[in-house]
């Protein structure tokens, strides 16, 4: 039987030739691979899942204390899963591109036998008995779970500073916010702690940290990826999506997690394509829609310059650019506030002291939510999800800055809460939306570009994001830890 060291020398050589990021020693060579690169080496048996897991765990042990990405590191479980994957691959039982690949999950996604806390004291010792549907799919695909990632408590905020398990720090500058609520996932992927992560997005919580941490974050179409087994913020707006190093990696993750779940009321039954085909899809005939107001209003000058440069690249690889007007989205805060309170009512009324002050205040403000206002907000949501379809008769994709400003200082008023969030509308529309790196500020902080498409139009979104990625170098940069 082939040992896990047999192909190490060849594997490191292949990794060095494939890796887009700088080589900083053997463990970094392996940890810095993209998911696709790692998967290809595993399938060829040039490296083993155990080597990948050990490389990631070494980086977590060394750097996580400074950045606080993980709440729980499942070291022993990960190494056991990696050994099992190695044995299967050696026997020729390759399950697919995630087999043996180390990943991590936001800690509001249930994992059987592993605590899922929502970053709250309330659930500090909560251990689910059943995996969330997305966790089940990733496990069945043979992925290796490294642990559970820190977040803004119960995903109810955009700074990732409000958490029972300690503030998260941006790997591009530890004095800056990561964005939220999937801040731990943003850190983990940017810092090469794992090859991919899952986050959740209700008002931008995948795309904000993707933008602020310089990675790729995809919010799929509402209902395309099951939210069963994910701690609820808002039933009407919650999405689960991949956070990765490259667009192709996000497509690979989507191939695993997308699909109908008969036990989840919000799940939609549609045909699921091979999302990696987007890497081969031409963008030459795509029309880009630009909604100047409000998405380009009051931009930070460095963000404006980066997005303007990105637009010039996009115009070279697409057919046309047209100005569009998007429908107003109504009262999003009433929607998510009312639904969040409904979910948390059993606990916020009995154990309010177990919530962080900021989360507690937000929930208590909606304790007496107006039923008529909520009903109207829910009705408006249904209407706007129909109305947005008209925009896609004029344009195939929409482009905007992900955030209007770079990451704020943790010391800023409000704990560096996200300002200039361009993401909420796309949760309301329910359309797919991706953030990809498009530049850096003069002080070295990442800037994100957002590309959105029609309902179930992930292929076009991924195709343009990938084409832009291939035409630029931004995704190749990594923080110097």
Q: What is the DSSP string of 242-291?
A: EEESSHHHHHHHHHHHBS--TT-TT--------GGGGGG---TTPEEEE-
Inside any domain, residue 6: no
pLDDT at 223: 98
Inside any domain, residue 336: no
Catalytic residue among 106, 148, 245, 404: 106
Inside any domain, residue 8: no
Question: Residue 458 in 3-state DSSP?
Answer: helix
Question: Residue 148 in 3-state DSSP?
Answer: strand
- Catalytic residue status for 36: no
- Catalytic residue status for 27: no
pLDDT(10) > 80: no
Q: In the structure encoding, which two tokens stand for residue 462, read together?
A: 């991924």
Q: Of 8-12, 153-157, 227-231, which range is least confident?
A: 8-12
Beta-strand pair 196-201/102-106 = parallel
Q: For 440-468, what is the mean pLDDT? A: 98
- Catalytic residue status for 106: yes
pLDDT band at 119 (very low <50, low <70, confident <90, very high): very high
Catalytic residue among 143, 159, 182, 205: 205
pLDDT band at 14 (very low <50, low <70, confident <90, very high): very low
pLDDT at 379: 96
Inside any domain, residue 28: yes
pLDDT at 2: 34
Q: Give CA–CA dist 248/304, Å, rounded.
A: 27
Give per-residue pLDDT as tens, 77-97: 999 999 999 999 999 999 999
Domain that holds residue 315: 24-330+372-476
pTM reported for the whole predicted model: 0.94
**Residue 369 burial (10 A CB sphere; 0-12, 13-18, 19+):** middle
CATH number of 176's domain = 3.90.1300.10
Catalytic residue among 48, 181, 433, 452: 181
Give the count of beta carbons closer than 10 Å to the beta carbon of residue 66. 13
Q: Of 101-110, 162-171, 369-378, 411-420, which range is least confident?
A: 411-420
**Residue 262 burial (10 A CB sphere; 0-12, 13-18, 19+):** exposed
Give per-residue pLDDT as tens, 256-293: 999 999 999 999 999 999 999 999 999 999 999 999 99
pLDDT at 331: 86
Inside any domain, residue 431: yes
* Domain count along the chain: 1
């Amino acid at each position: 039987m082939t040992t896990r060291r047999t192909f190490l020398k060849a594997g490191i050589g292949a990794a060095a030739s494939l890796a887009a990021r700088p080589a900083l020693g053997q463990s970094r060579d392996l940890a810095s691979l993209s998911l696709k690169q790692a998967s290809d080496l595993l399938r060829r048996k040039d490296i083993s899942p155990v080597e990948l897991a050990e490389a990631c765990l070494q980086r977590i042990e060394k750097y996580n204390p400074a950045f606080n990405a993980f709440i729980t590191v499942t070291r022993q479980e990960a190494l056991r899963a990696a050994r099992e994957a190695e044995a299967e691959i050696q026997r020729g039982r390759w399950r697919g591109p995630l087999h043996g690949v180390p990943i991590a999950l936001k800690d509001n996604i249930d994992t059987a036998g592993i605590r899922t806390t929502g970053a709250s004291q309330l659930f500090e010792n909560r251990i689910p008995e059943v995996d969330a549907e997305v966790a089940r799919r990733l496990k069945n695909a043979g992925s290796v779970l490294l642990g559970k990632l820190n977040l803004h408590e119960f995903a109810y905020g955009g700074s990732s500073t409000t958490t029972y398990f300690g503030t998260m720090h941006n790997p591009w500058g530890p004095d800056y916010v990561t964005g939220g609520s999937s801040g731990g996932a943003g850190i983990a992927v940017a810092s090469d702690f794992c090859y991919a992560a899952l986050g959740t997005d209700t008002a931008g919580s995948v795309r904000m940290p993707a933008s602020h941490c310089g990675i790729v974050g995809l919010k799929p179409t509402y209902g395309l990826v099951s939210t069963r087994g994910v701690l609820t913020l808002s039933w009407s707006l919650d999405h689960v999506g991949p956070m990765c190093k490259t667009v192709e990696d996000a497509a690979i993750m989507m191939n695993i997690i997308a699909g109908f779940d008969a036990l989840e009321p919000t799940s939609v039954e549609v045909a699921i394509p091979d999302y990696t085909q987007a890497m081969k899809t031409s963008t030459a005939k795509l029309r880009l829609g630009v909604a100047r107001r409000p998405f380009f209003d009051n931009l930070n000058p460095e963000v404006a310059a980066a997005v303007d440069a990105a637009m010039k690249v996009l115009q070279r690889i697409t057919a046309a650019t047209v100005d569009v007007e998007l429908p107003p989205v109504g009262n999003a805060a009433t929607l998510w506030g009312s639904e969040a309170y409904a979910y948390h009512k059993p606990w916020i009324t009995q154990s309010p002291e177990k919530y962080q002050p900021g989360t507690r205040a937000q929930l208590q403000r909606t304790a007496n939510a107006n039923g008529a206002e909520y009903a109207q907000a829910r009705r408006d949501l249904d209407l706007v999800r129909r109305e947005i379809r008209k925009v896609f008769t004029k344009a195939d994709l929409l482009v905007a800055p992900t955030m209007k400003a770079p990451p704020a200082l943790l010391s800023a008023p409000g704990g560096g809460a996200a300002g200039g969030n361009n993401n909420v509308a796309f949760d309301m529309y329910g359309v797919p939306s991706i953030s990809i790196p498009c530049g850096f500020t003069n002080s070295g902080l990442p800037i994100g570009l957002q590309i959105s498409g029609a309902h179930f139009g992930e292929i076009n979104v991924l195709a343009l994001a990938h084409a832009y990625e291939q035409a630029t170098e931004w995704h190749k940069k990594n923080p110097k830890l």
